[in-house]
């Protein structure tokens, strides 16, 4: 549509492009922040909204399960973008087998999977379901500062090498999920 608009006269083309962009501006987008309990989902929601964990209207965070239902947060300056902080997958209240149904996983347009450790079975389950629905996701590895702190205790420590190992591991596992759905 934008290419067609660009091929028209400058004024007519510019007007068509603005119309298309305005339509996108009003298109609702529901983004689900998902992952295991304690992975940093609510902290990530706060960071997206440029809030600290202690700010008014921030998503509650803590050392125990704090998100007990899918919670809606608006995205600053984009009222059509809705950020949903989902409960953690694989808890007593939200077991993995029932999680997708409990949080109405299918109603979201886009996903951000947060993981604070190695890629786990629940992460694979989420990736598989998102792919099955033919939707898109980002994978965010959180709490890397904790991993670096642990690696620093070793006799030989190289921060860039450690970060590279983490990045490569995430890429390898995601590639397995994407290209070998039998694994997922």
Share of the chain above pLDDT 90, in %: 19
Per-residue pLDDT, 12: 67
Domains in the chain with CATH codes: 2-179 (3.40.50.300)
Residues 6+ apart with CB under 8 A from 176: 183
Burial class (CB in 10 A: 0-12, 13-18, 19+), 94: buried
Tell me the three-class secondary structure of 152-173, residue by residue.
Answer: CCCCCCCHHHHHHHHHHHHHHH
Q: How do residues 79-93 score in pLDDT, each as one tens digit?
A: 888 999 999 898 888
Burial class (CB in 10 A: 0-12, 13-18, 19+), 65: middle
When pLDDT is cut at 50, 70 and 90, the band that residue 17 belongs to is low
Smallest Cα–Cα separation from 24: which of 3, 6, 5, 2?
Answer: 2
- In this structure, what token pair is assigned to residue 151? 């690696």
Question: Mean pLDDT, to the nearest integer, of 77-106?
Answer: 89
Smallest Cα–Cα separation from 28: which of 99, 71, 79?
Answer: 79
DSSP 36: B
Per-residue pLDDT, 69: 86
Q: How do residues 138-151 score in pLDDT, each as one tens digit?
A: 888 888 888 888 88
User: Locate tokens 């298309």: which residue?
Assistant: 20
- In this structure, what token pair is assigned to residue 97? 């087998």
Greatest alpha-carbon pair distance for the chain in Å reads: 67
Q: Starting at the edge strand that comes first in sequence, how are the strands of the sheet with 110-115 ordered? A: 71-75, 78-85, 29-35, 110-115, 136-141
Per-residue pLDDT, 134: 92
- Name 113's bridge partners: 34, 139
**For the chain, how many residues are written?**
184
| Mean pLDDT score of the chain | 81
Residues 6+ apart with CB under 8 A from 162: 147, 148, 151
């Amino acid at each position: 549509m934008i290419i067609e608009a660009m091929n028209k006269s400058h004024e007519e083309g510019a007007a068509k492009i603005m119309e298309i962009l305005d339509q996108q501006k009003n298109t609702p987008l529901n983004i689900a922040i998902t992952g295991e309990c304690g992975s940093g989902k609510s902290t990530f929601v706060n960071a997206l909204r440029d809030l600290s964990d202690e700010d008014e209207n921030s998503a509650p965070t803590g050392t125990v399960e704090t998100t007990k239902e899918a919670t809606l947060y608006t995205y600053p300056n984009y009222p059509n973008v809705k950020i949903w902080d989902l409960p953690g997958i694989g808890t007593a209240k939200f077991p993995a087998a029932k999680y997708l149904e409990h949080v109405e996983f299918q109603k979201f347009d886009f996903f951000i999977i947060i993981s604070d450790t190695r890629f786990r079975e629940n992460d694979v389950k989420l990736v598989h379901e998102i792919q099955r629905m033919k939707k898109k996701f980002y994978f965010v590895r959180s709490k890397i500062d904790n991993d670096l702190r642990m690696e620093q205790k070793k006799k030989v420590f190289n921060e860039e090498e450690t970060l590279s190992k983490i990045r490569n591991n995430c890429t390898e596992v995601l590639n397995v999920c994407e290209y070998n759905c039998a694994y997922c």
